[in-house]
Amino acid sequence: MNRWTLIAVVTIVLSGPSLFAQGKQDAPANASDEVQLAREQMQLSREQVALLKIRHAETGAEIERVEHPVLRFTAPLWGGHHGTVWIWGKHGRPVAVLEMFRQPDGRLWNQAFHATSDVPFKLTASNGETWTPKSSSLKFQPLPDAPPPADTPAGRIRQMKAFAQKFAAHEFWVTQPDRPRHELRLLAAPVYRYEDRDQQLIDGALFIIAQDTNPEVTLFLEAVKPVGEAKPNWQYGLGRTGLAEIVVLYDDKEVFRAPPLRTEVFPSTNPYWRMKSVFNDSKDKGGAP
């Protein structure tokens, strides 16, 4: 386990088993039952994500998925579903992020992907669907008025947490008649940390901006040394995980706006892509437990 992947494991432990008590209408009778249910649901999630394979589009080499989900979440505002966030690419910036959850009735998996690197790849699902994004969904920009990156990892993570706190976001759900505005919040700790010295990427971290703990925006903060530049600097990139209209501000200035998506059918070359698959429990071939 490298030094950055450790934070993904810590996130899982801190999120606690209660975030994954899904698929049952009745609450567990006691803490032991809740822990057992969380383990069962985690196993179902692992089995589902294992069916997804990503390979380099040119070489055919498999791009490895980080072993553990970097986040487990709940969405009480939208039916109470529970889910996980997974990433592919163990070296440097991840190439893709997946938000995955089961619908409240338990019969379908919802999977929302977005490409986060320009590495050409192809994702293949067990049902034969493929995703071959032409580009990343992230458009990196210099972080305004940021001081130079600190010399140590500890110093840089302090800087990144301070930068992240300057981001604010909200969303509008156009499917609702009055288009209510929902305020989003930053999850204080990054869910993943990475580096790629060969690509002049000194340090990077993935933060989540969420509705409660339900991911709506991915925030990437990176210390990089651009070619031809004498000193390293900071850059940021933002990506969507949901369908709503999303607005992100930095120091009270709008820096990102994602239009609402009114369909769940997307071309397979889109940087943002969604898929649904039928839940199939080995204990119950007829559907949800």
Q: Which residue has the higher pLDDT, 288 or 106?
A: 106
Residues in Cβ contact with 70 at an 8 Å cutoff, skipping those fewer than 6 apart? 8, 11, 85, 86, 87, 191, 192, 206
Q: Residue 286 domain-assigned?
A: no
* pLDDT score, position 102: 79
* pLDDT score, position 266: 87
Segment 221-265, tens digit of pLDDT: 999 998 888 899 999 999 999 899 999 999 999 999 999 987 767
Given CA atoms 20, 25, 27, 29 in this order, what sign does their dihedral have? negative
Q: Residue 283 domain-assigned?
A: no
Take residue 53 and report the two structure tokens written for it: 């394979």
Residues in Cβ contact with 147 at an 8 Å cutoff, skipping those fewer than 6 apart? 159
Q: Residue 174 domain-assigned?
A: yes
Q: Residue 89 domain-assigned?
A: yes
Segment 54-109, tens digit of pLDDT: 999 999 999 999 999 999 987 766 665 678 999 999 999 999 999 998 776 667 88
Q: Residue 289 domain-assigned?
A: no
Q: Residue 31 domain-assigned?
A: yes
Q: Looking at residues 44-51, what average pLDDT do you find?
A: 90
* pLDDT score, position 281: 55
* pLDDT score, position 221: 98
Q: Residue 148 domain-assigned?
A: yes
- Mean pLDDT of all residues in the chain? 84
Which residues span the domain enclosing 208? 6-278
How many structural domains are present in the chain? 1
* Residue in the block written with tokens 């592919």: 88
Say yes or no to pLDDT of 25 above 70. no
Q: Which residue has the higher pLDDT, 188 or 227?
A: 188
* pLDDT score, position 135: 93
**Alpha carbons 49 and 116: distance in angstroms, whole number:** 18
Q: Residue 47 domain-assigned?
A: yes
Q: Looking at residues 20-29, what average pLDDT do you find?
A: 40
